[in-house]
Structure 1
């Protein structure tokens, strides 16, 4: 797989595919390299910082997103660089980019150009709003996509200003969709021998996930679009203050609500027709929350967890990031991984996520750390680009490789 992506959405897709065993070859401009490798925050021999403290410091995002991949530098704007790239395309299965609409056409690396060289190629283009539609040429980052598809109008409490989710969801989600699309296209080619192009939109992907909720019906139901931690199908469903922090809990059925009432020693409400009606509780969430909060505030998180877990009532402490990083469950599933800085030749204090899918027979891991920029150029440009050592050295001297 030839990976022309930058920043998060595309590298997320190729990171997942690398974890599944794909040979992912990152191709970067020799003049600029991968922008995340030299962008803050940095991790290096002297720790984490916003300013580069040593020449061995590297961007944390790069150390996370480039794991399991190989690195090649090649100037696609030069005729010779373009010729070598097309030689690589002849032997590639997949080419992926997240250029703005029109950039691939200007470079001559669009699907039509690649298909002329390799009719079986699978080409994935990942953009903010897709390759079609009146907004296709607009530039987008995650903030704009969350705003554009309405997630910011749903996030937060009823009286709050628009706020995005705490992480760049549209980048991460579209990367997952792109990886899924590439796998599906590979399966289609295996069955039919036919390559194809894949058009992935960050906005489409985020909208597809959030629109499972009937958000377009909230007004008819008399609901605020901003529900805070609540969900319009369940009540109670929120985070509640305990003696020593916050705990999240929810009851998705009357059976769970009945069990929770007994746990809170509020059996008196079992005969209340309103309180036992889910529709009424959803419409009167504030009253339900007052009842639950009055109970949680008298107990510690540990006491609540022990009791509700024994009763099979879904709940969780609201963990800080520091608490999450020490959560034993994640460590037992190998989800908290050390990061290796290839310039410092040492692990850094930052951590990266492990591969999130566990197979019974398939190895799915990031078995290589992030590479040094250009680390695999000679090997790959000789093997896939058809260069001799002398030709490679000449391209390096000319700033093309």
Structure 2
């Protein structure tokens, strides 16, 4: 993996569940050595106990054999090494200090204040290694937040305002099917971590990188001027269409749905040609962008009535021939099998560490292509504590007796 951008970098991964492990998964795919520290008393990362599982018999809803592995861990654990360490044990800090001394980065996604209570927060880590970058992904940031400070994706979606951006006025809030709070925050965590590593290379000093799920998701909501829409009396929830961009939205054909984005004059004329209604281009209601916005409901009704009588393939063919941006609305299973994303490694097959690939089971790849480097998630997820001897013995120099003593005492 020497040709990967983060080759030679070491990341200590104290994360569990999704938001933190996704950040360290990306760092691993970029070539960092990610050492996943898991609690031996709880069975390790909580993702190890997420149904469904894969074993010798294939995909199952319930764990049946000892080497069955959850699909969640098969995905999030790739390209990582697993060691066990009970951070609540009095001897654990000494062991973790050894890892921090050889690391560039340490990542956690505990609630605010947990690492300090465990005695392994940034102030402690920088005493051990002044160059260390410590990154925390939490629900509400280092200062905590509403309630207990425990943040789940749905809670963050609710607080961020994102649930009230989808759907139509008067409808109940819409929870995004993807756990967007859990997935957006780690992207910012990776950006912040890499920026801090670059600065540490220049200055010799690491720092603390603090990313909140609520802040990350709300910052994306703020990319749209919802406050301006409110002041102007424009709806922030518009359902399947977006009247301030017309024609624009999702529409049903006779046998499926399609999305269309045609707010410019050229795209609108293409749509009128596809509808065999070229005269609409000169109609005062639709001749200009502002006029189309003012008469969006009429325009969208015309489009919907035309499409509803036609097969989806015919609708898309006509729109494409007239240069109108449109696409089928695909379900997730179809989308992850797109030949383009598969060929680029943006989605990749998943494999069990012992039993190999599972037919038609896919997971995220590294959706970044480099002209002079490689990036991939090409190593299967580890078993719990699989690399104890390699890391504690080979990397930190513990003897076999030392490792046995740590295990006997419940440290690892």
Q: TM-score, normalised by structure 1?
A: 0.95
Name the structure 1 match of 2:57.
Answer: 46
The whole-number CA distance in structure 2 between the counterparts of 1:283 and 1:205 is 34
Name the structure 2 match of 1:217.
Answer: 228
Matched, 1:8 2:18: yes
Matched, 1:244 2:255: yes
**Alignment counterpart, residue 338 of structure 2, candidates 327, 331, 339:** 327
Name the structure 1 match of 2:28.
Answer: 18
Secondary structure (helix, strand or coil) at the match of 1:238 reads: strand
**Alignment counterpart, residue 128 of structure 1, candidates 122, 130, 139:** 139
Cα shift at 1:392: 0.5
**Alignment counterpart, residue 241 of structure 2, candidates 222, 230, 233:** 230
The correspondence of residues 385-400 of structure 1 with structure 2, limited to 5 A, is: 385-400=396-411
Cα shift at 1:128: 0.5
Deviation string, structure 1 residues 344-392 (Cα, Å, up to 9, x no partner) = 5332343212210111111100121111111111110123433111101
**Alignment counterpart, residue 311 of structure 1, candidates 314, 322, 330:** 322
Name the structure 2 match of 1:266.
Answer: 277
CA RMSD of aligned residues (A): 1.8
Deviation string, structure 1 residues 315-349 (Cα, Å, up to 9, x no partner) = 1101123322432222222333222222x533234
Secondary structure (helix, strand or coil) at the match of 2:257 reads: strand
Checking the alignment, whether the CA contact within 8 Å between 2:13 and 2:24 is kept in structure 1 is yes
The whole-number CA distance in structure 1 between the counterparts of 2:402 and 2:391 is 13
The correspondence of residues 197-212 of structure 1 with structure 2, limited to 5 A, is: 197-212=208-223
The whole-number CA distance in structure 1 between the counterparts of 2:178 and 2:294 is 30
Q: TM-score, normalised by structure 2?
A: 0.92
Gapped regions of structure 2 (runs ≥ 5) = 1-10
Cα shift at 1:47: 3.5
Secondary structure (helix, strand or coil) at the match of 2:137 reads: strand
The whole-number CA distance in structure 1 between the counterparts of 2:253 and 2:167 is 21
The correspondence of residues 244-393 of structure 1 with structure 2, limited to 5 A, is: 244-342=255-353, 344-349=354-359, 350-393=361-404
Change beyond 3 A, Cα 1:100–1:223: same
Secondary structure (helix, strand or coil) at the match of 2:258 reads: strand
Deviation string, structure 1 residues 279-330 (Cα, Å, up to 9, x no partner) = 3433443222111112222322222222323333211101123322432222
Secondary structure (helix, strand or coil) at the match of 1:326 reads: coil
The correspondence of residues 102-141 of structure 1 with structure 2, limited to 5 A, is: 102-132=113-143, 135=146, 138-141=149-152
Secondary structure (helix, strand or coil) at the match of 2:20 reads: helix
Greater relative contact order: 1 or 2 (C-alpha under 8 angstroms, separation 6 or more)?
1
Secondary structure (helix, strand or coil) at the match of 1:14 reads: helix
Gapped regions of structure 1 (runs ≥ 5) = none
The correspondence of residues 54-69 of structure 1 with structure 2, limited to 5 A, is: 54-69=65-80
The correspondence of residues 161-176 of structure 1 with structure 2, limited to 5 A, is: 161-176=172-187
Cα shift at 1:136: 8.6
The whole-number CA distance in structure 2 between the counterparts of 1:65 and 1:297 is 42
Matched, 1:180 2:156: no
How many pairs does the alignment contain?
400
Structure 1 stretch 133-142 or stretch 298-307: which is displaced more? 133-142
Change beyond 3 A, Cα 1:36–1:231: same
Change beyond 3 A, Cα 1:360–1:204: same
